[in-house]
Structure 1
């Protein structure tokens, strides 16, 4: 029997609530399947940990995490701790040291959810955004000069390397080849306004495309592409973007399929040299933490993505099917989706649907 080791980082606020339900789903489906199991180790690294220790995780935190099969993160963020502290103290070190250079965000309208885009159905809204996750516009190169004077200035440098660009593009073309609906890659750019990094990016899009003669592609300016997400999302298949552009597009993608409250993400190390990390996109929402009203669907969707990465695609699909069963019935939903059920009740009901489908 395969046994997967999972590091749980519930984090702050509702992260604790939703990770609990995600773990419950993983335990339920592994018990049904019988061919694999999980061992969980929980860590309290969070903004609360920062308040006590002056850092988001121990000095040897990455060394502790590196031998797990996957990392399951809830959410980080709490009033009084600046966002850049939680980001650069926990999330970015994990993503970069573990070479999680692929960020996956499905833009998929689940059955039972209504899109804010009039007339669009689950057939129209079903594509994936692949975001470069380790370099690009989110570098730590730059600085401030002349603070407090009339010459005050800030410089932030972008970093685009051949290795970084080629590997995310190859990943995108591979996904289009193996999983895409139309075998098409759309690359986000802004080479008409950013005159060094974006032409570099465009050049490698063309270069890598020649390795995949059966896959069509186009390169679209980010402003137009954002508009196309709204006006003609059914034309999208696999979208690939740099770190900043991917960050923006994925939040827009979440908005057109139900909002950040149900949006999952995966930070992938494709070679599996290091663990990959799975996290819902929503924030820590400390104002509703512990009240039992947080929506656990994004976290549960993350468990599906985790299972797919671990080589259990049938189990991954079963979780999505169970979620759609619950959404279409509309009987057990949290308040943000118009229901009156608790976080725990939704998690329990999805487990019940899994047992009905697979047990």
Structure 2
């Protein structure tokens, strides 16, 4: 059997590199920036006031007191977008508004509520230090500084940082198109009526939502019945960067995915992971194809362990880390396979999400989990207090 790490490496080796294009900031929300966004100018681009008040020279009011206030002549006014071009000389002040350019000669701002203003004069009753209420040029970022790093998924705050830096357009990775199909004569769409031996399909709903959550564009290839030719036709005609199939990939007599795709370039094998042992991987007409088991928990686990990293590689997004957590309950592990257990995560540690553990059929119980714990293949059991690798769901 191939280890999960080896299989992931093979999956990633088939993924195309990120497809780059340039978009306006207005269209960039949720996309991944492909190159560092750097400030075009210093931020702020000039010394300015953080208060409404008066721009002064700190030395002029160094000896001001309530009993001996210093009178300064008001010689100009600087407003936001309308800087005063004069210079504050000794014994002078300039009216200034929040965000306005600090006039030449001035090195501090006194809020208007701290002075007594008369016609053409202000009285200052206490000293101020140089730099008081002054926002210095470049204190947020210097020209050329990185304000949004490559690989960042752009949120509103990142767009604001780019805009404040004078950047109108950014280079991003194009969201990959990931097609998916589910197979099985036993599947009925939710809301339908179950016949003998049939079950409701949950994999299509899961994959559509999971792929969207990962930042891909889901492409629904539908439910394909258990006919190998139909599977091959659906996969061959997919307009996608990656195709994900579920079900029909094992060694049974009615495994249409394996029967339909093995001769087209997909290798089917066992991966040392539980759940998710039977899988397929290859290319059909140049498009990578990842074939997953059909049981819902196995699908969710394999999306987190294999498909999620594949999508992130095509988007240029770093892989989230698995963190060490303490087991709060004991549980058994399968022999010679890495176990991926749905768990509930708390500040104290983790415990299995359901009494059924990592059973691949427990679709309804999967909703109780916060994430997954990974247990290495050599372990037969996890005991209370053991450390396991844990990550919250990324999809």
Bin for the TM-score computed over the shorter chain: 0.3 to 0.5
More helix by proportion, 1 or 2? 1
Provide the TM-score with structure 1 as the length reference: 0.36
Which structure has more relative contact order (CA 8 Å, sep 6+)? It is: 1
Which structure shows the higher strand fraction? 2
- Structure 2 length as normaliser, TM-score? 0.33
Structure with larger Rg:
2
